[in-house]
Chains A and B, each alone.
Chain A
């Protein structure tokens, strides 16, 4: 009996814990944007090849997620939202996460090279490096602009998808990159406004902590203004069309308006109604990228471009 009870203290991982290391929710965005990037590209790809390409791009994204969890275990252990992740909760060791992250990085890059082309594979390898090393190990703990530059890692997947089909980079794929790149800061800063995580305790320099909440609100609005022209410009390229343009126009007006409202808010008023406006803006930001990329996809399927 004593022997059996001895196991109770050390929880052993189940399969789902290793899946959780790959950050499945982030992966879903990667899958969707990479799929759209691949689909709207001017060169047709066999459906099964496209499926495999998206799968290995997602796996590469998952691998960088595991590397991120390995390196950030100390931060995750401090913050409430992340305390139940596999490493801080003790179900998976840091070494296992590192091993899984490195192995899956290698597999995903090699397989993407074999499935699609080596340019796309190199691009995926760079993205993993960018997220795991440049963002996680360096920028995140060093500068309040961490989210701005780190957003590039999340913005690469549609470009990789495009590269899988075309073997290169185009103005369209660069603009899809810009769409996610400039969307990321207002999205995360809105979250930071109402989540109020103890970033300071964890040693992460968030803009809300380093420069204050008023500055963060101004930054949010500024980014919505920068973002809008890129979203519209994308609509003027070969992947755009009337449908995308209509969706982009409505969403960008709403987004700028939302950013304006967030900026005009005074912290006391926000606290009084439990950050209703900020929460609404955050929810809008989720729809923002999803609907833009969905519009690109539908535009491509319907086929009435410019």
Chain B
């Protein structure tokens, strides 16, 4: 009788474990959501998404008649 009750009743240990599992799950889900939202914000802001790729790119050159007015550094383009 006592045995049966002890088995069916939830031990305090299970509560602690569940708290860890649920907590970590929420943190990970939150982190994924955060990175996604961050990506959306960064892309909308128009941050430079093309980096130097071993050859000059027209798209990252400063616009005509502008002295390095874009977000790209001249050093990057010259390389």
Which A residues are within 8 Å of any B CB, using their own CB? 1, 4, 7, 12-16, 18-19, 46, 48-49, 52, 55, 114-115
Contacts and interface: CB of A to CB of B under 8 A. Distances in A.
B41 A13 contact: no
Interface of B: 2-3, 6, 11, 13, 15-17, 19-20, 22-24, 34, 37-38, 41-42, 45
Contacts of A46: 41, 45
Given A13-B20, A15-B20, A48 B15 contact: no
17 contacts: A4-B6, A4-B11, A12-B13, A12-B16, A12-B17, A13-B20, A14-B15, A14-B16, A15-B19, A15-B22, A15-B23, A15-B24, A16-B23, A48-B37, A49-B38, A52-B34, A55-B34
Chain A at the B interface: mostly helix, strand, loop or mixed?
helix
A1 B2 contact: yes
B16 A13 contact: yes
B38 A14 contact: no
A246 to B, nearest CB: 37
A16 B18 CA distance: 12
Q: Which 6 A-B pairs have the closest CB atoms?
A: A15-B23, A14-B19, A14-B16, A15-B19, A12-B16, A48-B41
Given A7-B11, A14-B16, A14-B19, 12 more contacts: A1-B6, A4-B6, A7-B13, A12-B13, A13-B20, A14-B23, A16-B19, A18-B20, A49-B41, A49-B42, A55-B34, A115-B38
A52 B38 CA distance: 8
B68 to A, nearest CB: 17
Contacts of A7: 11, 13
Contacts of B19: 14-16
Contacts of A14: 15-16, 19-20, 23
A52 B15 CA distance: 31
A14 B17 CA distance: 6
Nearest to B23: A15
Nearest to B11: A4
A19 B38 CA distance: 24
Contacts of B3: 1
Nearest to B2: A1
Nearest to B40: A48
Contact of B38 (A1, A12, A15, A48): A48
A92 to B, nearest CB: 11
A115 B35 CA distance: 9
A12 B20 CA distance: 10
B28 to A, nearest CB: 12
Contacts of B11: 4, 7
A1 B11 CA distance: 12
Contacts of A1: 2-3, 6
A15 B42 CA distance: 32
Contacts of B13: 7, 12
A4 B6 CA distance: 8
Nearest to A115: B38
A214 B20 CA distance: 48
